[in-house]
Amino acid sequence: MEIDMNRARPASTLRIPSTTQRARTVVRTLATLARDPGRLDQVLVLAQTVNLPTVARAIDRLEHDDGGRALLADQPRIDRAHVDLDALRRLPDGALGREYTRFLDDNGITPDAFENLPDVGDPRAAYLMLRLRQTHDLWHVLTGFAPDVRGEILLQAFTYAQLRAPSALLIATLGTLRWAFEWPGQGKALREAFSRGKRTRTLATFRWEDHWATPLTELRELLACPPASAAS
């Protein structure tokens, strides 16, 4: 693929708080998560705070990639306003859409928790962050990592291999240290999750919407991502 490096791109208007402000937010959110690791709102605050300095570089990479440019231009969304979840529930067992809605229903999750763009100043960065939030549960479905604390930590190791997001490394590392004695073999599991993330095709720009009816087994082959139980 030939990339036009001189292609005009809008300048970033991303608002990044000072290092001191971000440090205070990180300490505060980590303290809250240590007491209650299920606080999704705090996970989102932590991720946004830690990842902001790298988001501008991520946008630049997307602008230089055909799939990335198309994603930023089209800005597809996965929530009740844009996806007919009832239609997905009627798909055959094993299809991506059916297994995705089964995951949502079994765990009492709604994609509408992520329907508003983050207020970060740059609309492209805001959309990218929203897209990663809205597809997070699809990453769970694809990888087979459970939506419990241990599964989330392993998915963060997988995510770090995919995105090099600082928040993913932070959560995977601190979470493993926090529960290391309660989870035998966690270190090995973490390394395997990271290795799977490296082997798997890039998910950040993947058009999940085009594959609702695709059997999950076929999708895992397409993306080179076996389920967790089958990972080496």
Per-domain residue ranges for the chain?
22-230
What's the pLDDT at 3?
30
What's the pLDDT at 59?
81
Q: How far apart (Å, rounded) are the C-alpha atoms in residues 35 and 29?
A: 10
What's the pLDDT at 11?
45
* pLDDT per position as a tens digit, 88-99: 999 999 999 999
Tokens representing 42 are 């705090």
- Residue 5 phi, psi dihedral angles, 5° rounding: -70, -15
Residues of the chain with pLDDT under 70: 1-19, 22, 25, 38, 40-44, 48, 113-119, 121, 228-232
What's the pLDDT at 143?
96
Task: Answer whether 55's CB lies under 8 Å from 79's CB.
Answer: no
Say what the pTM is.
0.81
What's the pLDDT at 1?
34
Q: How far apart (Å, rounded) are the C-alpha atoms in residues 172 and 200?
A: 18
Q: Tokens 């769970």 — which residue?
A: 140
Q: How far apart (Å, rounded) are the C-alpha atoms in residues 156 and 175?
A: 10
Q: For residue 147, what are the contacts with CB-CB under 8 A and spacing of at least 6?
A: 103, 107, 109, 137, 140
